[in-house]
């Protein structure tokens, strides 16, 4: 049943969650290493997702769905949460959060490029404009506005932040032909990704998780970045009478996130970050723009 008011409430709830996670990432990484943060966050999110499926009486769908395409769901779990968040958290560990977050925000532009070879889609003229503008904005952010010098605070951090967009875009491309229920798919991804994350923690770090501040931050990330935000966004789209209006709410998130980084983390927000972010958001809006057919009504009348 459509209900635009409920759709807005759930959509704003999801955006509110996403707006806090950059601060949560950065604060938590002061106490946990990236693999440790991911381990606790994944377990927290998985428990939430299993609880939601149990409440809906759908736990039995996990085994049935996995048996249909075991390799496919194993690949999804390898990408998200394992590889994607390992790369993203490492980028946050190396860069100011404002840079890592905003560079990661170009994933939708990366998705446009990957959709050509993998989905057979074509790139429109306006998409090329959006791609150039978006990645120019990313360069403005990465160089703090010194485009000609190409001087990066952390070249590895920038490379990881951009690599995370490839992983996230790839995850959604794999999902385009998935007919299973989204909540079941996400839960399977986390179930199958958890063993990889345990191995990564043993290899890259250790299991001495003693700082309570790290636990609080990691559990928050697991519940709100990986759990509640996803569920609320699904509900928003389900109730929406106009999907485009709900989708546009996402553009609030990066600006609200910068404000929280300044208030909670104490990061000085660089002017170049704001300029680059405006360029990226403008690029994403250009991608979404659909020209109206001026003479549609006139033609139909004839």
Residue 225 predicted with pLDDT over 60 = yes
Report the C-alpha gap between 140 and 184 in whole angstroms: 39
Are the beta carbons of 78 and 196 closer than 8 angstroms?
yes
pLDDT at 299: 39
Q: Residue 298's pLDDT band (boundaries 50, 70, 90)? A: very low
The larger pLDDT score, comparing residue 36 to residue 177, is at 36
Work out the number of other CB atoms within 10 angstroms of the CB of residue 273. Answer: 25
Arithmetic mean of pLDDT, 12-25: 94
Residue 186 predicted with pLDDT over 70 = yes
Q: Residue 148's pLDDT band (boundaries 50, 70, 90)? A: low
Residue 293 predicted with pLDDT over 60 = no
pLDDT at 1: 66
Q: Is the pTM of this model over 0.75?
A: yes
Report the C-alpha gap between 212 and 78 in whole angstroms: 28
pLDDT over 90 for what percent of the chain? 66
């Amino acid at each position: 049943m459509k209900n635009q008011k409920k759709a807005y409430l759930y959509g704003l709830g999801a955006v509110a969650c996403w707006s806090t996670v950059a601060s949560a990432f950065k604060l938590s990484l002061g106490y946990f290493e990236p693999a440790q943060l991911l381990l606790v966050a994944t377990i927290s999110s998985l428990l939430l997702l299993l609880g939601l499926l149990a409440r809906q009486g759908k736990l039995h769908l996990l085994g049935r769905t996995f048996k249909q395409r075991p390799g496919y769901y194993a690949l999804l779990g390898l990408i998200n949460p394992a590889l994607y968040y390992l790369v993203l958290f490492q980028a946050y560990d190396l860069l100011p959060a404002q840079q890592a977050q905003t560079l990661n925000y170009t994933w939708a532009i990366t998705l446009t490029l990957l959709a050509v070879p993998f989905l057979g889609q074509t790139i429109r003229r306006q998409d090329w404009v959006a791609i150039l503008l978006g990645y120019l904005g990313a360069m403005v952010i990465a160089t703090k506005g010194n485009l000609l010098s190409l001087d990066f605070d952390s070249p590895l951090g920038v490379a990881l932040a951009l690599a995370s967009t490839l992983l996230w875009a790839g995850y959604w491309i794999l999902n385009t032909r998935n007919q299973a229920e989204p909540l079941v798919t996400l839960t399977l991804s986390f179930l199958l990704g958890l063993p990889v994350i345990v191995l990564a923690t043993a290899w890259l770090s250790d299991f001495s998780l003693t700082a309570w501040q790290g636990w609080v931050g990691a559990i928050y990330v697991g519940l709100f970045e990986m759990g509640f935000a996803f569920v609320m966004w699904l509900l928003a789209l389900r109730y929406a009478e106009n999907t485009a209006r709900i989708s546009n709410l996402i553009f609030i998130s990066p600006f609200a996130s910068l404000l929280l980084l300044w208030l909670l983390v104490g990061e000085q927000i660089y002017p170049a970050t704001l300029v680059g972010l405006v360029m990226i958001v403008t690029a994403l809006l250009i991608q979404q723009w659909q020209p109206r057919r001026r003479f549609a009504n006139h033609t139909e009348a004839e």
